[in-house]
Amino acid sequence: MTNPSTYDCVIVGAGVFGAWTAWHLAAQKQRVLLVDAYGAAHSRASSGGETRIIRMGYGADEIYTRWSLRSLEQWKELFRSTNHALFVQTGVLWLAGEDDARLDETISTLQHCGVTLELFDRTAMEKRYPQVNFDDVSRGLLEPESGVLLARRAVTCVMEDAVRRGAQFHIAQIFPPQPHASHRLDFIQTSSGARVSARQFVFACGPWLGKVFPELLGQRIFPTRQEVFFFGTPAGDSRFTTPSLPTWLFQEEEAYGMPEIEARGLKLAHDAHGERVDPDTQSRLVSPEGVEWARRFVARRFPALADARIVETRVCQYENTSNGDFLIDRHPELSNVWLAGGGSGHGFKHGPALGEYLAGQMSGHRAPEPRFSLASKATRQQRAVF
């Protein structure tokens, strides 16, 4: 590391939130150090893994629709400028059953925000996607311009471009900061004994936020175990690849997945929050119960894959706040420390807009959004953002 007095900002955590914040600060010509204990979007991080959905639909939550639009614009521009093809325009298909009020809210919000969409009744969906069983599905909404981000490589791309813009990146383990009588943080210390100073600090540590700030966030950040499955598709069969099959979300069953991308198999995951876990010690092997659920779901919704093998699995974690809104706020006792997290389950896509917002907050050029305040975060989960 260079002379510690040279940094305007040190960012702890090189997932999608930390990397994009570093990118935006570097674009402002600030002297930025991005630090992570294991590396950008590493396998234990919430930003790790191969793929993430980017979609505009959020029911009546227009703020997230607009952030998704802004983020997709920035993702595409980054990929163009760096010559990386890390966005796959699969389309995203929302599927609703009897309780379709949220679908109506989504339609209204998307139309208000000028998002291209297509609407289907069940008959039309069965004709267009005959490989899917639409039992108990009444309507569908397709976002044709949405799709999938190649997650781990996308974060690495952001980090590398931030470095090209002048930021520095180092792998280092940071000790939790201690309260200080001056109500400012002067430096952070690494496990190797180095002290790193800066005018401002950002902690974007994902599921580790509650461990870095146990008294403040230990009961306000909820890391939960999430299992992901990939099912092998039949040889020579293109029905489960794009464009034959879009990315899809069954609202009432809290299940989502995507077509086969880069020959990984059909992806399936349960969006319901799993058991609370420690990101350092949780098992990264899927459970027999999860396997049973995944096999039942695939056999029902994709009958041609009823006997398909599970070719790959992954265990990661969400790290949500009490209701699913982001946490982007100052530390209440350290005026030059910022907290950024609570994004798992829906946050990855928003990295560009979140980094832009936080960089604006830090420079005093952006008004705060009350929904992202620490004061709004409770200690009991009651999910409201999907």
Per-residue pLDDT tens for 208-232? 999 999 999 999 999 999 999 999 9
Amino acid identity, position 243? P
Per-residue pLDDT tens for 252-302? 999 999 999 999 999 999 999 999 999 999 999 999 999 999 999 999 999
Note the pLDDT of residue 179.
77
Per-residue pLDDT tens for 360-383? 999 999 999 999 999 999 999 999
pTM of the predicted model, to two decimals? 0.97
What percent of the chain clears pLDDT 70, i.e. is strictly above it? Answer: 99
Which residues fall within 8 angstroms of residue 370, CB to CB, at 6 or more apart? 376
Per-residue pLDDT tens for 334-347? 999 999 999 988 99
Please state the rounded mean pLDDT for residues 10-31. 98
Q: Which tokens sit at 27?
A: 């674009």
pLDDT above 70: residue 5:
no
* φ/ψ bin of 313: left (φ > 0), alpha (ψ from -120 to 50), beta (otherwise): beta
pLDDT above 90: residue 81:
yes
- The verdict on domain 4-376 having CATH code 3.30.9.10 is yes
* Integer Cα distance of 354 and 71 in angstroms: 8
| Residue ranges covered by each domain of the chain | 4-376
